[in-house]
Amino acid sequence: MAAVIVFLVLLLFSSGSEVSADGNVTLGVTLNLTWWQEAVFYQIYPRSFQDSNGDGVGDLKGITSRIDYLKDLGIDCIWLSPICRSPMKDFGYDCSDAEDVDPIFGNLDDFKELLQVVHNKGLKLIVDFVPGYTSDQHIWFQKSVRREGKYTNYYIWDDGKLLDNGTRAPPSNWLSIFEGPAWEWNEVRQQYFYHVFLKEQPEMNFRDENVKWEMKNLLRYWLDLGVDGFRADAITAIVTASNHSLDEPLSGKDVPPDQDDYLDHIYTQNQPEIGPILKEWYDILDEYTEKDGRIRFMVLETYATHEVRNSLYSQGQGNPFNFDFLDMSRPASTREIYDTIMQEYTALLPGKWPNFVLGNHDNNRVSARNGYQYVDVFNMLLLTLKGTPTTYYGEELGMLQADISWNQTIDPWGLNFGPDRYQNFSRDPERTPMQWTDGPHAGFTTGNKTWLPLGKNYTSLNVKVETESPGQTSLKMYKQLTALRKNPAFTQGSFKTALVTDDVISYQRQLGDENFLVVLNFGEETSVDVSSYGGLTGTVSVFTPSMTSLKTGDSVSLNNLKLGVGDSLVFRVQPSSSSEIIG
């Protein structure tokens, strides 16, 4: 076992980071938090949560029928992935009318009913806001193709390069994230248009004031309907360099030249104009908050460095997603997990709030990245860290992915890379239907098919079985953790790392007399001594299902704590003698 590292450094969380010689940190108490800082967020991918009409695709009425489950789960806010009217080339991220609901999900009345039920249950709801691009079937694009009035420059158009033989070529080497050139020729307009993703998703031109107005108007539309905020899609790509002829340099990564990572995106990502655009959006949220006192929230999708994320923080109510857990090695070592946590804490600008995400609709599930035996410990980590957590639907069960063949693949990202490479890019495996029961189609639909195959082991890994099991289960543990998180020690309290080895991460969460010790085993079987962080014994508050001999309230020795693979616990311990820091 590696030598134990004891952390002695104290810092004021609201006033920046001070790091010890070992690179270790303690975060002080943070008071006066807003609802989104204390909330547990839960992402629903609407196609996959619950089907109400038997067509094999999830819908709004299906989600409404499961709100009691979400309330009982202990989450506070639902994030709803796109439900807009769409030709579904990218399953709703290609909106043809962002102010309407696609019939596959229902209609606007169904959405209003869902929102009302959510609010009646004391929960909140945020929706996806997709500002960077539309479907090529959107009326704006059709008018832009025909150069009609103000719509002429709604999208990024370019004549391209005139070659010696009289033909035209794309203006630059810019690449699409979904593979290949990002420029597509339009015969009607006789120009190239730019697309970050599919060619059916033309990119909007945020250098046009009319486009900026349209996006602000869209925010107001959904705020008027009553949503509590937004998750803004692909923010770092909404503005490109004004000079489209600038070739991006090679990244030096060992990937094929048709792959997005082949280039360093200095002209198509993270442009300086993004900040002022975001400020205008946050001003709109603040405008609605001033009207009725209800704080509105926006979180930004940003697969980016801490430096870039810090540049996107606003004075408004929101922050950029921290996806660093998704970028770790597969599987990640304990030290890498710890370093990833500390990077979030130490890189934040003064006064900004941390957040953590374990998965989403674009990334493999935790079980696929790190092994099923570690799903529970990752959930315990997520829900006991200081900062806002986001859970992807089904992770509370430890859902496994499906084995999806090339012939079953429907995700355009996977399809674009062909049968030899599709498995490296397809997002189908993490989007499989929610597993409610051990019955036909896992209780997801009453129809005779599901839009994607079900995940592995759904007959034993589902809500019904995990609820009715006499022992501890992943679902029961998750509920216990969300309940425990209501204790201010986990939302406002200090965070002080207790011990880190090559297997174990442990830390204290404390506010006043409420003092908890979290011990997480990400490695193999091990024994640890954590008695110096709260006394000789601790009272078990929550434990992973792998620890079959335990029950809540047990008194456990902390000077020789034996842990199997993935075994993890939260203890209530005596208050620390060290004074607290109020940030």
Q: Which residues are known to be catalytic?
A: 233, 301
Contact status, residue 161 vs residue 175, Cβ threshold 8 Å: no
The 3-state DSSP class for residue 571 equals strand
Is the separation of the CB atoms in 426 and 392 below 8 Å? no
Which residue, among 458, 459, 441, has the nearest Cα to 450 in the 3D structure?
A: 441
46's CB contacts (< 8 A; 6+ apart) are: 58, 59, 60, 63, 80, 81, 82, 83, 92, 105
Nearest Cα residue to 134 out of 121, 126, 144: 144
Asked whether 316 and 298 are in contact (CB, 8 A), the reply is: yes
Q: What angle do CA 275, 279, 280 make, to 5 degrees?
A: 120
Exposed/middle/buried for residue 437 (C-beta within 10 Å: 0-12, 13-18, 19+): middle
The 10 Å Cβ neighbour count of residue 290 is: 8
Q: Which two tokens stand for residue 161?
A: 């390069």
What CA–CA distance (Å, rounded) separates 265 from 240? 10
Task: Identify the CA nearest to 215 among candidates 319, 130, 126.
Answer: 130
- The CA distance from 113 to 482, in Å, is 26
What φ, ψ does residue 278 adopt, rounded to 5°?
A: -60, -40
DSSP state at residue 114: H
Indicate left, alpha or beta for 98 from its phi (over 0: left) and psi (-120 to 50: alpha): alpha
Comparing CA positions, the residue from 349, 311, 348, 344 lying closest to residue 328 is 344
Q: Would you put residue 314 in left (φ > 0), alpha (ψ -120 to 50) or beta?
A: beta
The gap from C-alpha 258 to its chain's centroid, in whole angstroms, comes to 27
Q: Give how far Cα 541 sits from Cα of 253, 517, 563, Å.
A: 46, 10, 16
**C-alpha–C-alpha distance, residues 259 and 11, integer Å:** 43
DSSP string of 490-555, one letter each residue: HHTSEEEEEEE-SSEEEEEEEETTEEEEEEEE-SSSEEE--GGGT-SEEEEEEE-TT-TT--TT-E
Task: Give how far Cα 43 sits from Cα of 17, 253, 282, 393, 490, Å.
Answer: 31, 32, 22, 6, 21
Which residues are CB-neighbours of 446 under 8 A, at least 6 positions away? Answer: 51, 54
Tell me which residue has tokens 């030290």.
335
If one counts every other C-beta atom within 10 angstroms of the C-beta of residue 404, the result is 20
At which residue do the structure tokens 């034993």 appear? 460
Pair 430, 39: CB distance under 8 Å: no
